[in-house]
Amino acid sequence: MSESDTRDLPETDEEWREVLTEEEYRVLREQGTEPKFSSDLLDVKGDGSFDCAGCGAELFDGDTKFGSGTGWPSFYDANEGAVELREDRSHGMVRTEVVCAECDGHLGHVFDDGPDPTGKRFCINGVALEYEDE
């Protein structure tokens, strides 16, 4: 991805609040979670890409999306270098948080109960994504 493919990144919380909706800000900047089965992207399937709603970085290819039944868009793999994984010890659990490598936005979590070929389930908040059809 070239620099021209992503937006100029805000530098302050105030600037992020100006470019994101209230719900996008809560999820991407405050590590929130959208309600189960609330995302418009839950049933979207296609050859396009799922991009970061914060910066436009291409995160997941449409062909890696699968129906997990969990209530959030799920993918078995992320684009190379597009996301970073971090330990998350919030809410009395130990999980692996998924963040956008470009803007550091919280996307969701990754689990080891996904399908082949990776065995991973990237459980992602739909509000943190934008779908771009090919």
Give the whole-angstrom CA distance, residue 100 versus residue 28.
9
Could you name the CATH architecture of 3-132?
Beta Complex (2.170)
Residue 7, pLDDT score: 64
Q: Among residues 55, 100, 103, 123, which one is catalytic? A: 123
103 in catalytic set? no
41-71 tens-digit pLDDT: 999 989 999 999 999 999 999 999 999 999 9
1 pLDDT tier (thresholds 50, 70, 90): very low
Give the whole-angstrom CA distance, residue 26 versus residue 103.
15
71-116 tens-digit pLDDT: 999 999 999 999 999 999 988 999 999 999 999 999 999 999 999 9
